[in-house]
Chains A and B, each alone.
Chain A
Amino acid sequence: MSARTDIVDEEGSDTKSSFKRNTPVAIKITKLDKSFRGNQVLRNLNMDVKPGETLVVIGKTGSGKSVLLRHIIGLEKPDSGEILINGMDVEDPEVRKKHRFAMVFQSSALFNSITVAENISLYLREHRVFQDENGIRQIVSNTLSIVGLEGKEDIMPSELSGGMKKRVAIARALAMNPDLILIDEPTSELDPMMARTIGDAILNLRKHVEVTQIVVTHDIDLAHYIADRIAVLDEGRIIEVGTPKEIDRSTNPIVRNFITTQFEREEGGTRL
């Protein structure tokens, strides 16, 4: 599958683009430690992510999921340990020259003073990816249609619901044509219907781009819905990794406890 054609159709268009075709990345994290003011958040964390897979990291609130993502994208520096992206250290400037990373934040982090279209096209404009407006407009339109928000280009972020903001944030990430997308708590504070819509939007990305995805969530239902593999994070360590079925069969008491608690809550009607 061509990773680019569904985002922007370059064939038949005279739009000149400096976009490289994306190549899903492999990630290897070894002995990662991080503490904030004496509070150890990540402890000797080891994790592998295969190119092109969707790895969902689950864990209870405060287990270090978001901190892990911030390390992978380079917003935090580890106290010790290393993160390798296709064999290169994440802090090596060459990594950013060879690969594009995108992150969808828990708060969506849309820029409130500009429209949805301007949010999505910000990367393209700032890095002068296209030499004319047609290429940018096409990418904005295509990415919005992938996340099911056709025709919302001129709306301001303040006019969007929480779920729509998350989907615009996913579209903004997708517009970068990234090799790696990190998604932080995509369904937090959303109702079950909207959570399913977000899950569909994340699954839909796979049909359009070959990309490595790491999603962190405490929503076991979403994890089962979108994951190729699930990693369970507890107290700053990965304690179990496997396919959704393998995780369901896990005998690890912490994993069992996490899954059981989640399903009990769902039966109580708080989730899907």
Chain B
Amino acid sequence: MNSVTVFFQTTGEIIKLLMESIFWCKEALGNREKIFKQVVEIGNRTLPVAALISLFIGGVLALQSGPTLAQFGIEENIGGIVGLSFVKELGPVMASVLVAGRVGSAMAAELGSMSVYQEIDALKTMDINPIRFLVMPRFIACIISLPLLVIYMDVIGWFGGALVSSVNPDIHVPFSVYYRNLSELVDFSDVLNGLVKATIFGIIISIVSCYVGLKTRGGPREIGTSVTKAVVLSFILILVFDYFITRLLILLNLD
């Protein structure tokens, strides 16, 4: 098969997996324990790192833009700049990259290992649909977890920006001024904008990682290859979709 055929075949199979996952969402209530377990797993894997990186990204944003704003005497706008950057772009993208790297890779490795060691075949022989049993709980867990993680990262990132803005002598904007400006410039539609992105990125990460895992054939080496493939493909799709979602939101006057 040439690469064009492979591209269309892969795209078709990913869309089919997405549709089947959506179809099996009707069984979500009966599988709530599995979904909850996956949400906890995502939280365990991401919350500490997410706190650390968002604190420093918020700090860097303030550090980079604060002194320049101060030169023009408009440093009190730093809260709005950090706030908007985080809710609309950095929060959803950084959270998704983190989840793809830490959770998507684990999903691809787990499902890849199950494929290689015939556990997926064992499920089929027991008349247990692997998409309902394995993919749907991860799909729903990602859709629930990513927006929550984005809110968590937004709050910590804002705080990181506030901390640097107040401590750094070149900026010197107190917490109260920073947060007042932030609340004036960031409104609910901006937050919603980031959450829409996060939800779509959650769908991408879960479906791509599960697809790559389920398609794994061979042995341990192929499991490693699948993990790399899932993470790289997720990163690319997150960034590509980020552009198109932003464009669409601007067109719909939601940005």
A122 within 8 A of B: yes
Q: Mark A140-156, 1 if CB is under 8 A from B, else 0.
A: 00000000000000000
Contact A107–B127 (Cβ < 8 Å): no
Of all chain B residues, the one with the shortest Cβ separation from A123 is B126
Count contacts on A: residues with CB < 8 A to the other chain: 21
The CA-CA distance from A111 to B111 in the complex, in Å, is 11
Given A107-B117, A109-B118, A126-B133, A73 and B128 contact (CB-CB distance below 8 Å): no
Q: Are A109 and B127 in contact (CB under 8 A)?
A: no
* B127: chain A residues within 8 A (beta carbon): 96, 100, 123, 127
Nearest CB in chain B: distance from A72 CB, A: 11
Say if the beta carbon of A176 comes within 8 Å of chain B. Answer: yes
**Contact A122 B118, beta carbon cutoff 8 Å:** no
Q: A109-B118, A109-B119, A126-B133 are in contact. Are A102 and B128 (CB under 8 A)?
A: no
Interface residues of B (CB under 8 A from A): 110, 114, 117-119, 121-122, 124-128, 133
The 9 A-B residue pairs with the shortest CB-CB distance in the complex, in nearest-first order: A109-B122, A109-B118, A103-B125, A105-B118, A123-B126, A126-B128, A109-B119, A107-B118, A107-B117
B128: chain A residues within 8 A (beta carbon): 122-123, 126-127
The interface residues of chain B lying within 8 Å CB-to-CB of A102 are 125-126
How many whole Å from B221's CB to the nearest CB in chain A? 17
How many angstroms from the CA of A113 to the CA of B119 in the assembled complex?
A: 11
Instruction: Tell me whether B119 and A75 are in contact (CB under 8 A).
Output: no
Measured CB to CB, the closest approach of chain A to B19, in angstroms, equals 20
Contact A101 B125 (CB under 8 A): yes
Of all chain A residues, the one with the shortest Cβ separation from B129 is: A126
Contact between chains at A109 and B124 (CB < 8 Å): no
A70 contacts across to B, CB distance below 8 A: 121
